[in-house]
Amino acid sequence: MESGLSQAFQEELNCFICMSYLTDPVTISCGHSFCRACLRLSWEDSQLPVQCPMCREPSQQKNFRTNIVLKKLVSIARQASLMKYLSSEEHQCVTHKETKRIFCMETRIYLCQLCSDSHMHRGHRHCPIEAAAEGEMERLLQQMTSLWEKIQEIQENVEAESIFKILFIDYLLMREDMIRMEYRKWRAVLREEEEEHIEHMKIEGIHVLEKFRESEAMMIQKSKQLREMFQELRAMSQEPYVVLLQGLDDIFRRSKSMQLSIPQGLEPELAALPMIGLTERFKSFKARLFFENLFMFLCMKDLFNVLRRASFRPQHQDTPEETCGCYLASWGLQSFISGKYYWELNFKASWDWVAGVCTDSWLKTRNKAVDTKGAFLLFCVKEGNHYSLLTTNPTIRHYIEKPLDRVGVFLDCEAGCLSFLNIAKSSLIYKYPNGTFSHRVWPFFSFGQIIP
Ligand SMILES: [Zn+2]
Ligand SMILES: [Zn+2]
Ligand SMILES: [Zn+2]
Ligand SMILES: [Zn+2]
């Protein structure tokens, strides 16, 4: 009778998926319970709503809390079978004929009380076997969680990579058009030079796309390895406590070292190719601009952070914001509605900077909302050791080398457009299409400064 009852209990503590004891059990909305790891693997590729593996009832949620009561019951059952195993005559201490109830953390062997007190084990960490088993199980679960997070991180990176690749291809096409238009504007220039420029860029583009493929393949390979490791950990979590207590060291070492280097994806960047005579042509429109005194510009910090999030990868999106500095800004004493003007700015010592023009209304509402409507700006945003260039209206990420210090801005009110130049390289960073704006605009710049 009693064994029939315990048999029935034990069956209830089994997972429908792996058929072993429930490990870190979670109870989903229909009331059925599974191991967390089993559910993770079985729902991995499915979108919400997911289905209960047992009764097929849909669930709107993938993450559940541990069912503590169930977890406790499983651990009682597992401890009981561990005790049953240890108290059998053949597993008793050979010397003292006593049941081994103590675990030595140093030698990872089971001991009876007398052995544990012996000279050989002086200074060792010893604890009751049940407690040791529970502790090891918790370590194993933590390891599985950390591994799973890494698997998710790679998955996000792979998805981001494919989006980045498409954006990069679009950028190449956009840039080709833009460069061609710029060459055509100055008819005196030879057609040959234009073709050479485009050819050079295309070769570089092909090279980058090849790197994208390599990076993607590497991520997929790594993801596969981590998944195999996760399966291995799961299999270990299903082993009886006797096995668990003695077999974890090697598996932990491998799992940890595998998580050390997670491939992070590519930050492609095209070289800033020179266009001969570009800066000289713009310089003929050089205007003497006067700017307001620099002052603290509070909204700039939010704006930079919005663009930082727009340009970097998923796992960077909750990195702490740059807090150790302030943003200074200024705009022209004069606004423009007609004519052509060229001016240069030097951003040598700043980590985040922005240059361009903006409308009256943007300047007026600047502290009320984080908005770029009415601001035609080139942003250089820093994240870790990397810089990204972006322009607003619409937001475009530019996969082009960042200017070292001097940036040229060319405002053409007649055509309603704006160009940005990398002066040192005599290269075009970006030109807004003609007719981008028709209103009065103010020259504007801002930069971040570290407060010492
Ligand atoms: Zn399971
Ligand atoms: Zn169900
Ligand atoms: Zn003994
Ligand atoms: Zn010992």
| 342 touches 438 (CB < 8 A) | no
d(CA 331, CA 25): 61
Q: How much of the chain, in percent, has pLDDT values that exceed 90? A: 62
Give the number of the ligand closest to the Cα of residue 35.
Answer: 1
Give me the numbers of helices (H) and strands (E) for the chain, helices first please: 10, 18
Give the number of the ligand closest to the Cα of residue 24.
Answer: 1
Q: In sequence order, which residues have a C-beta less than 8 Å from that of residue 355 and are 6 or more positions away?
A: 345, 347, 377, 378, 407, 409, 420, 444, 445
Domain boundaries, the chain: 2-87, 131-259, 278-450
pLDDT tens by residue, 4-43:
667 788 888 999 999 999 999 999 999 999 999 999 999 9
Say if residue 58 is preceded by a cis peptide, omega within 30 of 0: no
Reading the block at residue 141, the tokens are 């679960």
pLDDT at 339 over 50: yes
The alpha carbon of 299 and the centre of ligand 2 are apart by a number of angstroms equal to 50
Exposed, middle or buried by CB within 10 Å (0-12, 13-18, 19+), for 234?
buried
The alpha carbon of 118 and the centre of ligand 3 are apart by a number of angstroms equal to 9
Q: Report residue 425's pLDDT band, with 50, 70 and 90 as the boundaries.
A: very high
Q: Report residue 452's pLDDT band, with 50, 70 and 90 as the boundaries.
A: low
The alpha carbon of 110 and the centre of ligand 1 are apart by a number of angstroms equal to 28
The alpha carbon of 252 and the centre of ligand 3 are apart by a number of angstroms equal to 30
The alpha carbon of 141 and the centre of ligand 2 are apart by a number of angstroms equal to 24
Residue 1: its pLDDT value, please?
39
Averaged confidence pLDDT in the chain:
89
d(CA 228, CA 231): 5
Q: How many residues can be counted in the chain?
A: 452
Of 27 and 364, the one with more pLDDT:
27
d(CA 213, CA 265): 10
Question: Any idea which architecture 2-87 has in CATH?
Answer: 2-Layer Sandwich (3.30)
Nearest Cα to Cα of residue 287 among 324, 360, 350, 339: 339
The alpha carbon of 119 and the centre of ligand 4 are apart by a number of angstroms equal to 9
d(CA 93, CA 199): 80
CA distances from 103 to 123, 135, 140, 239, 428 (A): 14, 12, 18, 18, 70
Give the number of the ligand closest to the Cα of residue 16.
Answer: 1
Neighbours of ion ligand 2 (CB under 5 A): 30, 32, 52, 54-55
Mean pLDDT across the stretch 31-56? 93
The alpha carbon of 246 and the centre of ligand 4 are apart by a number of angstroms equal to 14
Q: Give the count of alpha carbons within 13 A of 261, CB side only.
A: 4
Q: Give the count of alpha carbons within 13 A of 401, CB side only.
A: 18
The alpha carbon of 79 and the centre of ligand 3 are apart by a number of angstroms equal to 21
3-state secondary structure of 67: coil
Per CATH, domain 278-450 is 2.60.120.920: yes
Q: Which CB contacts under 8 angstroms, 24+ apart, belong to 55-59? A: 55/30, 57/29, 57/30, 59/28, 59/29, 59/30
- State the DSSP H helix or E strand holding residue 148, giving kind and residue range, or none if neither: helix 129-185
Pairing of strands 102-104, 375-383: unpaired
Give the number of the ligand closest to the Cα of residue 122.
Answer: 4
Give the number of the ligand closest to the Cα of residue 17.
Answer: 1
For the chain, the distance separating the N- and C-terminal CA atoms, rounded to the nearest angstrom, is: 78
The alpha carbon of 64 and the centre of ligand 2 are apart by a number of angstroms equal to 14
Instruction: Tell me the pTM.
Output: 0.80
Instruction: Say whether 278-450 and 2-87 share the same fold.
Output: no
Range with the lowest mean pLDDT among 95-99, 312-316, 331-335? 312-316
Q: Other C-beta atoms within 10 Å of 176: how many?
A: 15
Which backbone phi and psi does 341 adopt, to 5 degrees?
-140, 140
The alpha carbon of 103 and the centre of ligand 3 are apart by a number of angstroms equal to 12
The alpha carbon of 39 and the centre of ligand 1 are apart by a number of angstroms equal to 8
Most confident of 118-122, 370-374, 447-451: 118-122
| 351 touches 325 (CB < 8 A) | yes
